[in-house]
Amino acid sequence: MKNRLSYRLQNISYSQTIAMSAKARELKNKGYNIINLSLGEPDFSPPNFVLSSAKKAIDEGYHYYTPVSGYFELKKMICEKFSRDNRLKYTPSQIVVSTGAKQAIMNVLLSLLNKDDEVIIPAPYWVSYLQMVKFCESSPVIIPTIMKNDFKIHPEQLEKAITSKTKLFIFSSPCNPTGSVYSYEELKDLSEIFKKHPKVMILSDEIYEHICYSEKHTSIAIFPDIHNQVITVNGLSKAFSMTGWRIGYIGAPEWIAQSCDKIQGQMTSCANSIAQIAAITALAAHPNKIEYMIKEFKKRRNLVLDMIKEIDGFQFYQPNGAFYIFPKISSFFGKKLHGKIIQNSDEFSEFLLDQSKVATVSGSAFGDNECLRISYASSDDKIIEAFTRIKKVLN
């Protein structure tokens, strides 16, 4: 029966982040004491003012389909947010609200990509970019990066990768899985390359924008010469700890926004109405209202850096954003651990789950087979226990 599925589907794989967290959940349900550091999901509750707003929306009768691209009030608020936090000028007709940033990204890819178009993606990349591009039957062109360069690309690498078939460039800053953050100057240098190639569009995934520990996040769309090439993606999942509420959005040239509206009108009609009302309240709040979460993530990042030092064979760096660390673990390859020879990061991640009952995600999911992604969107106690267990099985 399987070969009756579309080629498009046969060409893609399951999301490894979701698969690992499902596995961790299953083992937990069977009674194992699992610590799940696989999923990138904040463990806070959304702020109380957002919860109250959603309850009020239910009582006030927001039960019906909204306009496909979102309530006008929300789109206006998103424009204000872009202006306040990112110095970006968008009008409501350039905004589309979707069921999570995931749908927002997929809408953009479906809008732009034809078979055989090339899409440049720096690796390590977020797990779904590659699969979404393949789903559109386009060709991913991967630019590898290294830890020594903070996992960032150089403008020359970008320039070399661009061909007449290049349609799109996709990246996240702060980056999932590396936690790297591109500085203003680095983005400016990249923008100079894009300026020379006005047909190349840029999808800038800024879902971790507030989770930045050193300098402030910069949006690549602020460079006027390339503003019209950029689709800025954001959402409420990470900043407001609202992963299950499923609100994401784009700010984009109007022709892209119109196309996403068209696709969404056929696929989902609109994002959830109650969550949209709560999103207006969330985005109206100044980012200092969520600073307590960012401070906590920074504390945890420092805790992780302290603990990871104690583990022989982990090569690491200091991530400056998001809530992941992406250590290189290839020094274990070819070695026998608890009776089994470890060949790659998949096996290493499996080994940790089996032996220490800590769930992580193999670097191969993110295009780097020598690393491992550990999410620290978890409590201090769990982080301490997880690293203590890992140290015990490895040292």
Contacts to ligand GLU by CB under 6 A: 15, 17-18, 39-41, 127-128, 176
Q: Which stretch binds ligand PMP (CB under 6 A): 153-161, 179-187, 235-243, 383-391?
A: 235-243
- Min CB(383)–ligand GLU separation in Å: 16
Q: One-letter amino acid identity for 170?
A: I
When the beta carbons of 39 and 230 are compared against ligand GLU, the nearer one is: 39
* Burial category of 189 from C-beta neighbours within 10 Å (exposed 0-12, middle 13-18, buried 19 and up): middle
Find the binder of ligand PMP among 66, 176, 273, 356 (CB under 6 A). 176
Apex 39 CA angle, 36 and 42, nearest 5: 95
Residues 6+ apart with CB under 8 A from 202: 168, 169, 170, 171, 194, 220, 226, 229, 230, 231
Binding flag, residue 207, ligand PMP (CB under 6 A): yes
When the beta carbons of 21 and 166 are compared against ligand GLU, the nearer one is: 21
Q: Do residues 233 and 101 make contact, with C-beta atoms less than 8 angstroms apart?
A: yes
- Min CB(171)–ligand PMP separation in Å: 9
Question: What sign does the CA torsion over 112, 116, 118, 123 have?
Answer: positive
Q: Which of residues 322-361 bind ligand PMP (CB under 6 A)?
A: none
Q: How far apart are CA 370 and CA 345, in angstroms?
A: 6
Specify which residues 232 forms β-bridges with.
204, 251
Q: How far apart are CA 268 and CA 97, in angstroms?
A: 11
Q: How far apart are CA 220 and CA 115, in angstroms?
A: 27
- Min CB(92)–ligand GLU separation in Å: 27
Binding flag, residue 68, ligand PMP (CB under 6 A): no
Pick the closest to residue 235 from 339, 105, 47, 72 (CA basis): 105
Q: How far apart are CA 278 and CA 274, in angstroms?
A: 6
Q: Are strands 247-251 and 324-325 parallel, antiparallel or unpaired?
A: unpaired
- Min CB(100)–ligand PMP separation in Å: 3
Q: Do residues 153 and 30 make contact, with C-beta atoms less than 8 angstroms apart?
A: no
Binding flag, residue 206, ligand PMP (CB under 6 A): no
Site string for ligand PMP, 83-122 (x = CB under 6 A): -----------------xxx--------------------
Find the binder of ligand PMP among 40, 124, 140, 321 (CB under 6 A). 40
> Residues in contact with ligand PMP, total (CB under 6 A)?
13
When the beta carbons of 176 and 259 are compared against ligand GLU, the nearer one is: 176
Could you tell which of ligand GLU, ligand PMP, none binds residue 357, using a CB distance below 5 to 8 A set by kind?
none
Q: Interhelix angle for 380-394 vs 345-356, to 10°?
A: 110
Find the binder of ligand PMP among 85, 205, 261, 370 (CB under 6 A). 205
Apex 129 CA angle, 132 and 205, nearest 5: 125
Could you tell which of ligand PMP, ligand GLU, none binds residue 235, using a CB distance below 5 to 8 A set by kind?
ligand PMP
- Min CB(39)–ligand GLU separation in Å: 5
Could you tell which of ligand PMP, ligand GLU, none binds residue 179, using a CB distance below 5 to 8 A set by kind?
none
Binding flag, residue 209, ligand PMP (CB under 6 A): no
Here the tokens at position 193 are 């390359």
Could you tell which of ligand GLU, ligand PMP, none binds residue 172, using a CB distance below 5 to 8 A set by kind?
ligand PMP
When the beta carbons of 274 and 393 are compared against ligand PMP, the nearer one is: 274
Q: Do residues 235 and 104 make contact, with C-beta atoms less than 8 angstroms apart?
A: yes
Q: Which of residues 239-278 bind ligand PMP (CB under 6 A)?
A: 243, 248
Pick the closest to residue 247 from 96, 97, 79 (CA basis): 97
- Min CB(374)–ligand PMP separation in Å: 14
- Min CB(247)–ligand PMP separation in Å: 7
Binding flag, residue 375, ligand PMP (CB under 6 A): no
Q: How far apart are CA 208 and CA 230, in angstroms?
A: 17
Collapsing DSSP to helix, strand or coil, 174 comes out as coil
- Min CB(379)–ligand PMP separation in Å: 20
Q: One-letter amino acid identity for 248?
A: G
- Min CB(359)–ligand PMP separation in Å: 16
User: Can you give the binding site for ligand PMP, defined by CB under 6 A?
Assistant: 40, 100-102, 126, 172, 176, 205, 207, 235, 237, 243, 248
